[in-house]
């Protein structure tokens, strides 16, 4: 497998997390965004949207971080990252949609603004973020994981931009259930930070 | 089944289309947006995001139009709206993510602006829309459906806001493959327009 990625992309971190937790070896190719490599003809042939991550697995070319998580989960069913019941699969899907929409339009956009200088409608992104945090916190107040009793790709799809919320000046202090869930994800075997560092807590567990 | 919906929502149209194509009977409950019923405590108990559609099927409560399409497809596997191969399932997922993100931030937002007066960044929405149209048109220039050789929930998830593009002052004249695909969706048995009308073409087919 070959992963085309940016080092500081939360969407790429999702995929790296999953690959690490599955113990799958892969080649990392860091796309050079500073020279617009993601908009080059070669890269657009892999993903016409010009976005990372892209995962290559022999003849299969996958774009979209949610689709890549689903692919890895379906290829490794024994790892249990995708539930078997239809209603649970659809609950996962509803979080994957949120990862593509509200997360991107909320904490994702605020991070692009505060860390990378993108011009955005800050008030609108903050409003989206606050609603998202309220819904997530309520969901996680009654159960440890977003769907069912164990970690799924829903959690991995949601984790990176919540963990990076502070870079968008989003304070999670009022959302204790989200904080507890972040710690739980970080304690999973194989967890790696965005920059590839295994936390001490996790090292002890292994 | 009970569908909570708005009459003029493209996301609700997706679900109505699928239910009609499957020949599933359901009760429609039109949420009264003009009095903020979608933000009422009763409705927020069904969907804390305060968004339609919501589908109730006995004990199962589903929010998010993409998740509802997946649910209906998985409950009716013989209808063939969801592929069986892993790589095709993930290709479907990548379009579901686009339906949640680029479609919403592009043609969906332009329609909210031009038809319903929402204040948006028009230039940004137009740029997202043009990229989306180019990618879709290129994909549909070499195959009739977005994934594989027959209609899937990827097509149904993408159809409504493309069919409504003109309401956002988006002209599809330069995208012949998209136009051909819209006509193909509208020719499917069970197709209904947003306002519930079966097209003459479709009536003749049945």
Residues B149, B72 within the same domain: no
A94 near B71, Cβ under 8 Å? no
Residues B57, B107 within the same domain: no
Task: Say which CATH number the domain at B20 has.
Answer: 3.40.30.10
Residues A119, A173 within the same domain: yes
A97 vs B: CB within 8 A:
yes
Residues A32, A9 within the same domain: yes
Residues B106, B14 within the same domain: no
Asked if A97 lies within 8 A of B96 by C-beta distance, the reply is yes
A27 near A195, Cβ under 8 Å? no
Whether residue A203 is predicted with pLDDT greater than 90 in this model: the reply is no
Task: Say which CATH number the domain at B153 has.
Answer: 1.20.1050.10
User: For chain B, how many structural domains are there in total?
Assistant: 2
Whole-model pTM: value is 0.94
Cα distance between residue B67 and residue A96, in whole Å: 9
Specify if B206 maps to a domain. no
Nearest CA in chain A to B96: A97
Specify if A130 maps to a domain. yes
Specify if B194 maps to a domain. no
Asked if A131 lies within 8 A of B49 by C-beta distance, the reply is yes
A107 near A119, Cβ under 8 Å? no
Residues B146, B56 within the same domain: no
Residues B39, B96 within the same domain: no
Asked if A100 lies within 8 A of B101 by C-beta distance, the reply is yes
Whether residue A143 is predicted with pLDDT greater than 50 in this model: the reply is yes
A130 vs B: CB within 8 A:
no
Q: To which H or E segment does residue B55 belong?
A: strand B54-57
Nearest by CB: A71 against B64, B90, B102: B90
Q: In this predicted structure, what is the pLDDT of residue B55?
A: 98
Which burial class, exposed, middle or buried, applies to B154 when counting CB atoms under 10 A from its CB (0-12, 13-18, 19+)?
buried
Asked if A96 lies within 8 A of B101 by C-beta distance, the reply is no
How many residue pairs from chains A and B have C-beta atoms closer than 8 A? 92
Q: How confident is the model at residue A96 (pLDDT cuts 50, 70, 90)?
A: very high
Asked if A66 lies within 8 A of B105 by C-beta distance, the reply is no
Q: What is the mean pLDDT of chain A?
A: 94
Nearest CA in chain B to A101: B101
Residues B122, B58 within the same domain: no
CA dihedral B5, B9, B10, B12 (to 10 degrees): 0
Looking at chain A, the whole-number percentage of residues with pLDDT higher than 90 is 94
Q: In this predicted structure, what is the pLDDT of residue B204?
A: 40
Q: In this predicted structure, what is the pLDDT of residue B106?
A: 98
Domain with A60 in it: 2-79
Last residue of a domain, one of A20, A55, A79: A79
B55 vs A: CB within 8 A:
no
- Strand order across the beta sheet in which A54-57 lies: A27-30, A2-5, A54-57, A60-63
Last residue of a domain, one of A30, A59, A79: A79
Asked if B89 lies within 8 A of A68 by C-beta distance, the reply is no
Specify if A127 maps to a domain. yes
Q: How confident is the model at residue A206 (pLDDT cuts 50, 70, 90)?
A: very low
Residues B68, B122 within the same domain: no
Q: What is the distance in angstroms between the Cα of B183 and the nearest Cα belonging to chain A? A: 24
Nearest by CB: B90 against A70, A104, A135: A70
Last residue of a domain, one of B61, B79, B97: B79
Residues B94, B176 within the same domain: yes
Residues B94, B180 within the same domain: yes
Specify if A171 maps to a domain. yes
Q: What is the distance in angstroms between the Cα of A205 and the nearest Cα belonging to chain B? A: 32
Q: How confident is the model at residue A196 (pLDDT cuts 50, 70, 90)?
A: confident
Residues A75, A111 within the same domain: no
Specify if A133 maps to a domain. yes
DSSP A18-73: HHHHHT---EEEE--GGGTGGGSHHHHHH-TT--S-EEEETTEEEESHHHHHHHHH
Q: In this predicted structure, what is the pLDDT of residue B196?
A: 74
Low-confidence ranges of chain B (pLDDT < 50): 201-206
């Amino acid at each position: 497998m070959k992963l085309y990625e940016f080092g500081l992309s939360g969407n790429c971190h999702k995929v790296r997390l999953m690959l690490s937790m599955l113990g799958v070896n892969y080649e990392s190719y860091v796309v050079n965004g500073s020279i617009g490599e993601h908009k080059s003809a070669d890269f657009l042939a892999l993903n016409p949207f010009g976005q990372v991550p892209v995962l290559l697995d022999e003849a299969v070319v996958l774009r979209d971080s949610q689709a890549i998580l689903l692919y890895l989960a379906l290829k490794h069913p024994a790892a249990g990252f995708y539930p078997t019941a239809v209603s649970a699969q659809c609950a996962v899907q509803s979080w994957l949609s949120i990862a593509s929409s509200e997360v991107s339009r909320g904490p994702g956009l605020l991070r692009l603004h505060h860390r990378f200088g993108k011009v955005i409608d800050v008030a609108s992104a903050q409003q989206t973020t606050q609603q998202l945090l309220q819904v997530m916190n309520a969901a996680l107040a009654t159960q440890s994981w977003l769907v069912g009793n164990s970690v799924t790709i829903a959690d991995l799809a949601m984790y990176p931009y919540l963990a990076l919320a502070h870079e968008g000046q989003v304070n999670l202090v009022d959302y204790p259930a989200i904080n507890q869930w972040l710690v739980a994800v970080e304690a999973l075997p194989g967890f790696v930070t965005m920059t590839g560092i295994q936390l001490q807590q996790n090292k002890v567990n292994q």
